[in-house]
Each structure stands twice: as structure tokens, then as C-alpha cells.
Amino acid sequence: MRRRPWTLALAAAAVTVALAAPPAQAASPAPSPPPPPSAGVTEAARGFDPLLPSSDPVALREAYRPLAVTYSYEGQKHTLDDYLARTGTQGFVVLDRGDVVFERYVTTNRDTLFQSWSMAKSFTSAAIGIALGEGFIDSIDDPVTRYVPELKGSGYDGVSLRDLLRMSSGIQWTETYDVPFVHVAASLGYPLTELAKRRKRGWEPGTRFEYTSMNSFVLSWVVAKATGVPYHAYVQKKIWEPAGMASQAYLGNDSNGNSMGYCCYYATDRDFARFGLLYLNGGRANGRQVVPASWVTESTRPSASFNRGYGLQWWLGENGDFSANGLGGQLIWVSPRYGVVIVKSTLATVLAGEETDAAFEAIAAEVARTRTARTAAAH
């Protein structure tokens, strides 16, 4: 279990749960969170690559304050405490810009490494944007085979990076059934590159939305091939270090040198919050432009007429908010409107997950209200 925590629950849920899909319901929550990777084991083990803490971590100021959050959903009034309890939330962090104004852990703590599941896709998007800005990628309208010629003759042949990013690759894929097979195969050491080369064309790319985790793996493969360094090493140098992540994390791989890309970052909730803060600040951290501002804008707006709710590996809300979403209710939620970042981690949300938009909107509004009230009182 400790050597490969990113395979947790696959044996029971592999044929029924859409791993790494947008917020979904899992069959049954376990009583405690998955154990974090053991540093003494994972640094030498197959299946993980470490991400080292930044030499210049972004400071998060502790400025806790009461948040009187209530919201209505389907005619019923709820509170923040009620929402956290019913969703089985184990880690929860709320940032007012760079201030931690609310934080709670249940059977976990601030140092717990939570599994990202599909929140990883938004990190992969950031890596693509940085590689584009550095000139390693000329255009996201380039065919993927320009960077990964190994995919010639596969269903990905001729598919643009843009269509990979917006989940419109045309690949034959059913997330619910295909991801468990791929994930288990990778956990057993089968190369994800070989699985990608076996994908077939099912429909015309760029004509509809089909959530496909293999697209995100291929994007991480593009990063590695275009930059000439492994995906995890590029993430370390271009995201984890300059974005000021404070703790060591781990990134799952297929034991063949290929980062998974579509899932499996193990990090603290505060570092997930720092990633959200990076995007709230237009790609800047500690005075540095980490992700090109133009990429932050492009990737967090509608990417296609056939799906206004999805950007480039980011989910989009109705009020300008956007989020990185993972299996069972993992979220990095960013609200430029209110200047708020919310991170939620849980093994599985079974109840109340459909209320999340209403709950988070109410939290963000309350953070903004109390910020204004405190500023007025100070003057």
C-alpha cells in the first residue's frame, strides 16, 4: 500500500468508477485517508518521482477569521460545517489572496500528502503553457506527432495539441471503462506510451467534448519530448520551484520513466492552494512570471463552442471561477471575482457533492464581505 498509494481502491472500484473524471461519486468512502508515500521508500522506489520543496516558498499568512457561511440548495439551508461533514472533507483550505483565513483537517493534518487525481491535468496544462512560452512548442495548433512522432499511425495521428487540451481528440474512449484498465496497467509497470500508441480514432477531432484522461498523459509526453527533460523534472524546475511550493511532493509514474500526467500528484493542501494562488495572480509568484499570463487567460476561458464549461484542462464556472477537479471531490477552486482560492481534499464525496458550487460561492462571498468589513474597521 505504501509503495503505490496511487492505486488505492482500484481493485474494488476499477470497473465502476471513472477515475480522474470531473467530480464524481465513489462507491463507498474509506474511514481514513490514503497513507502518504514514505520518503524512505518512495525516493528509491519505482512508481514515484519526488518534487522537492522550493528554495523560495510562497508565504501564506495565517489570518484566520470567523466565516458565517450559509447557503441554500434545493430549498434547504446549509452551513459550512454541515457541508464539510456531509462531503467527508478531510482537508480544507481557504485563501483570501495570500492569507489563510480558514483551514480544517479531519483524520489528517497540514503535512498530509493528498492524492490529486485529475487535478493533475491542470498542472499539465501549466507545463504546456510554459513550454509554449519558452519556444519548445511553436503552437498548440501543431499536430501532436510533430513532438511525439511515435504516435504516427495511431488514433492520435494528426490531432492538434489544442484538441488534446480541450478534450476533443476523437479517440475511441469511455472514461468509466478505459481509465481503470490503463491505470491498473500502468501501476503494474506497463508503459503508458505503448497504451497511447494503441488508441484508435473514433470520431472527427475538434467536433465534440469527450473527457479522456489519455489525452492528458499524451500532453505530459509532449512536454518531455519537446523540452528534452522528463515531465517531472520540468515540473520541478518550471512550476514547483518558481511557484514557491513549500513541501516535498510525489508524482506517480508508470515505472518506465513516464509521468502519468493525468493524475497522481501527492501534495499538501497548502501547496495545492499555492497553485491556485499562482493562477489567481495571473501566473505570478514571488514577483516572478511562472506561467505566461496569456496562457492563464486562454486556458481558463471556454475552449470550444461545443463545451462552454471547459477550458484547456480547467473546468469553468458561471461567474468567472475555474477549478482543477479530481475524483471523488478533490478541488482547487479559484475565484478571480472574489480573490479567493479554496482547496478541498477527501477520499470520496458521496453526499452533498452536487452542492459544491453553491457552497463555494457562499464561502467566497463571505470571505470578500469580511475582508471589506475589516478594511473599513481599520480606517
Q: pLDDT digit string (tens) for 314-369?
A: 999 999 999 999 998 999 999 999 999 999 999 888 788 899 999 999 999 999 99
> Using CA atoms, how far apart are residues 275 and 277, in angstroms rounded to an integer?
5
> Using CA atoms, how far apart are residues 218 and 14, in angstroms rounded to an integer?
22
- Looking at the domain assignment, is residue 11 inside a domain? no
Q: What is the pLDDT of residues 214-266, one digit of tens each?
A: 999 999 999 999 999 999 999 999 999 999 999 999 999 999 999 999 999 99
Residues 6 or more apart from 196 whose CB is under 8 A from it?
A: 151, 154, 156, 214, 217, 218, 221
- Looking at the domain assignment, is residue 149 inside a domain? yes
Give the per-residue pLDDT at 30: 32
Smallest CA-to-CA distance from 186 within 200, 177, 196 is with 196
Give the per-residue pLDDT at 293: 98
Asked if 274 and 51 touch (Cβ cutoff 8 Å), the reply is: no
- Looking at the domain assignment, is residue 136 inside a domain? yes
Q: What is the pLDDT of residues 35-50, one digit of tens each?
A: 444 444 334 357 999 9
> Averaged over 271-290, what is the pLDDT?
98
| Residue percentage of the chain with pLDDT more than 70 | 87
> Is the pLDDT reported for residue 8 higher than 90?
no
Q: What is the CATH number of the domain that holds 229?
A: 3.40.710.10
- Looking at the domain assignment, is residue 44 inside a domain? no
> Is the pLDDT reported for residue 17 higher than 80?
no
> Averaged over 300-322, what is the pLDDT?
97
Q: How many domains does the chain have?
A: 1
- Looking at the domain assignment, is residue 41 inside a domain? no
- Looking at the domain assignment, is residue 326 inside a domain? yes
Asked if 224 and 251 touch (Cβ cutoff 8 Å), the reply is: no
> Using CA atoms, how far apart are residues 101 and 371, in angstroms rounded to an integer?
10
Give the per-residue pLDDT at 171: 98
Per the rule left: phi > 0, alpha: psi between -120 and 50, beta: everything else, 135 is: left
- Looking at the domain assignment, is residue 371 inside a domain? no
Rg (CA), the chain: 20
What is the extent of the structural domain holding 297? 54-359
What is the three-state SS of 277-294?
A: HHHHCCCEECCEECCCHH
C-alpha 230, offset from chain centre: 19
The DSSP call for residue 253 is B
Q: What is the pLDDT of residues 136-156, one digit of tens each?
A: 999 999 999 999 999 999 999
- Looking at the domain assignment, is residue 45 inside a domain? no
> Using CA atoms, how far apart are residues 345 and 160, in angstroms rounded to an integer?
33
Give the per-residue pLDDT at 1: 24
Q: What is the pLDDT of residues 91-139, one digit of tens each?
A: 999 999 999 999 999 999 999 999 999 999 999 999 999 999 999 999 9
- Burial class of residue 61 in the structure, from the number of CB atoms within 10 Å of its CB (0-12 exposed, 13-18 middle, 19+ buried): exposed
Name the pLDDT band for 89 (thresholds 50, 70, 90).
very high
